[in-house]
Amino acid sequence: MPQPAPDAPTPGPRTADVVADAVRAGILSGDLPPGTPLREEELSATYGVSRHTARTALARLTGERLATAEPYRGVRVSSLDDDALIALQQLRCALETEALRIVRDRGIRPPGTEAALDELSAAESSGDWAATLAAHARVHLALVDAAGSPRIAEEYRRLDSEMHLLLTHVRPAYAPGALTEEHRAYVTEALRDPERAVRAHLDHSTRAILDGRRGG
């Protein structure tokens, strides 16, 4: 279980957010692998909060699908099987396609995409997979956010967290620089023809993830 931050706030209206943020960070960093039990009593003791606050934090994580509550087993860090991955990518495809259709039809040039691509290039060059995942997410989120739809952005972020969890533990085989090159081309094509480009991109990434999960 991750350690609480120094000078953690006393229980209050936002304490559940603090606990959820800390556990989320542990999940997405890989410190809490899929299947790890997340127990109310341990969170309560670790963070010095009530069981009710710990329960609220866990409910937020299950709402984000980073944790799963099962009868008689309690709450555990989620684990996505192949079918769940495919379903997740299908939902991402629907949301990202619609966001980019709005962007295209309104003639918007998404702000932040070039900076995100540069961050992805730097992270990929460093060999830091965690930083690469974060930069990869920023590329896609910059495109989705440009549509100006809070609902699409909110739902997409939930799915992106699930994808981040999966990719923390599955690293597809990419030649150095290939991920950045692929995403620079994707941004160009997605702004021109989102209906085709998004599906092709996510189909490709799904195959790469499945191959990575099976060891090539």
pLDDT band at 2 (very low <50, low <70, confident <90, very high): low
Parse the chain into domains and list their residue ranges: 15-77, 82-213
> What's the CATH number for 15-77?
1.10.10.10
pLDDT band at 49 (very low <50, low <70, confident <90, very high): very high
pLDDT of residue 9: 46
pLDDT > 70? residue 7? no
How does pLDDT run across 72-92, given as a tens digit for each residue? 889 999 988 899 999 999 999
Query: What is the three-state SS of the chain?
Result: CCCCCCCCCCCCCCHHHHHHHHHHHHHHHCCCCCCCECCHHHHHHHHCCCHHHHHHHHHHHHHCCCEEEECCCEEEECCCCHHHHHHHHHHHHHHHHHHHHHHHHCCCCCCCHHHHHHHHHHHHHHCCHHHHHHHHHHHHHHHHHCCCCHHHHHHHHHHHHHHHHHHHHCCCCCCCCHHHHHHHHHHHHHHHCHHHHHHHHHHHHHHHHHHHHCCC
Percent of the chain with pLDDT over 90: 73
pLDDT of residue 12: 46
Q: Which CATH class is domain 82-213?
A: mainly alpha
Average pLDDT over residues 48-67: 94
